Amino acid sequence: MADQTRPRIFSGVQPTGNMHLGGYLGAFRNWARLQDEYDTIYCIVDLHAMTVEYDPAELAAARIETAKVLIALGVDPDRSLLYNQSQVPEHAELAWILGAMTPMGVLNRMTQFKDKTARGASPNLGLYSYPVLMAADILLYRANLVPVGDDQRQHIEVTRDLAERFNNRFGEIFPIPEGYIPETSARVMSLTNPTDKMSKSDPQEKSRIDLTDEPDVIRKRIRSAVTDSDPEVRFDREDKPGISNLLEIMSACTGRSIDNLVDEYAHTGYGIFKDAVADVVIEELAPIKEAHDALDDGDVRAVLHASGIKGAEMAAATMDLVRAATGVKRF
C-alpha cells in the first residue's frame, strides 16, 4: 500500500445520518470497484461533520456504522485504507497551511455554504472553510483521483486551484487531482421532492432509501415516490423529474441504458414501472444488508485503528515535504 506504484485515490464521507442509495450510486459503488486498479484511501470525515450542530455520542457511533456499511458494500480492508479523518491530525495542519493561502473570494462562491446556511445551519468558520479541509484531505495523500457524486464538483475545483497555487509558490509537491463522477446517477434525487438531491439531512425519511433498509420499506418508498400525472415513462428531467430519477436509478442498478428501459416501460403504467425499479434496488442492496448485519463492531474498530496507523505514516511523509517547502520544518 505505502510503496505507491499505482495512481492513488482518496475519497471521504461524512458520518452523519444513514448511508443512502444516492451516495452509493454516486460514489461508494465506485470506491469498491476501483480498488484493483488504484491505491485506495477512504476516510470517514468526522472533522467535517463537526461543522454543523451534532451530538458527540451520535457522531462517535455513526463513524462505526458508516465504516460498517462501507465494508459491507465492498470496501475491502485488505485492499484499501479505511479510517477516521481525526485519527490523522495532519488533515487539520495542512488545512491551516492551505487556508493561509485561500482567498476569501474562492470560498464566497461556494454553493454548499450558501445552501446549508439558507437551510438553517449556523454560518461558522468551520462550515465556511469546509472546502479547504476537504482539499487538505485529498492533497495530504497526494491523490490523483477522487470518486464523488456531482454535488462535490465545486469542491474538487477548489482543491485543484489550491494545489496549483501551492505548487506555484512552494514547488511541485501535489499532483492536480481529478474528480471521478459517474455519468448516470451522479445526482440521485429525493423520492419526495425530485428537484432536490437525495440527502441524509432531509428530515423526511421517505425521501431516501438507506442501504440497510428492509425490502418492504424499499418497495413502499419507491411506490410512493413523487412522480407526475402524465402516465408515460420517459426521460425528461425538467418536466418529469420523478420518473427521470427512477429511470436513472434503474439504469445504474442494471447497467441497461435509459433508452432501453424507456422502450420497455413507456406504456406499462407507473405502477408496473415502479415495482420493476423496486425489484432491482432490492436485489442490489440485499447483499449489502446481509454483509452489514454479519459484521462485528469490534472488528470494524480494529480495521479503522490499523488503517489509521498506515494513513498517518503516509500523511507524515507528505507533511515533511510541505513543512520544509513552507519554512516550518520541524527541528
- Closer residue to ligand TYM in complex, CB, 185/227: 185
Size, binding site for ligand TYM by CB under 6 A: 25
Residue nearest to ligand TYM (CB): 26
Query: Would you list the DSSP string of 109-174?
Result: T-HHHHHHHHTT----HHHHTHHHHHHHHHHHTT-SEEE--GGGHHHHHHHHHHHHHHHHHH-S-S
Reading the block at residue 77, the C-alpha cell is 480492508
- Whether 116 sits among the annotated catalytic residues: the reply is yes
Write down the least CB distance from residue 163 to ligand TYM, Å: 13
DSSP state of 236: B
Q: Which region holds residue 242: left if phi is over 0, alpha if psi is between -120 and 50, else beta?
A: alpha
In sequence order, which residues have a C-beta less than 8 Å from that of residue 13 and are 6 or more positions away?
19, 23, 27, 28, 42, 43, 44, 45, 66, 70
Integer Cα distance of 218 and 134 in angstroms: 32
Q: For ligand TYM, which stretch binds (CB under 6 A), given 11-19, 76-84, 215-223, 289-297?
A: 11-19
188 binds ligand TYM (CB under 6 A): yes
- Closer residue to ligand TYM in complex, CB, 199/227: 199
Q: For ligand TYM, which stretch binds (CB under 6 A), given 186-194, 251-259, 269-277, 290-298?
A: 186-194
- Whether 200 sits among the annotated catalytic residues: the reply is yes
Write down the least CB distance from residue 26 to ligand TYM, Å: 2
Q: Which of 61, 60, 83 is nearest to 71 (CA)?
A: 83
149 binds ligand TYM (CB under 6 A): yes
66 binds ligand TYM (CB under 6 A): no
Q: Which of 137, 174, 173 is nearest to 155 (CA)?
A: 137
Residue among 65, 90, 137, 202 that touches ligand TYM (CB under 6 A)? 137
Reading the block at residue 285, the C-alpha cell is 442492496
* Exposed e or buried b per residue across 51-82, where buried means at least 16 C-beta atoms within 10 angstroms of its C-beta: bbeeeeeebeebbbbbbbbbbbbbbebeebbb
Residue among 13, 211, 222, 304 that touches ligand TYM (CB under 6 A)? 13
Write down the least CB distance from residue 317 to ligand TYM, Å: 19
Helix (H, G, I), strand (E, B) or coil at 11: strand
Of residues 200, 240, 274, 289, which has the active-site annotation?
A: 200
197 binds ligand TYM (CB under 6 A): yes
142 binds ligand TYM (CB under 6 A): no
Binding site residues, ligand TYM, CB under 6 A: 10-14, 22-23, 26-27, 45, 48, 134, 137-138, 146, 148-149, 151-152, 155, 186-188, 197-198
- Residues annotated as catalytic are 116, 197, 200
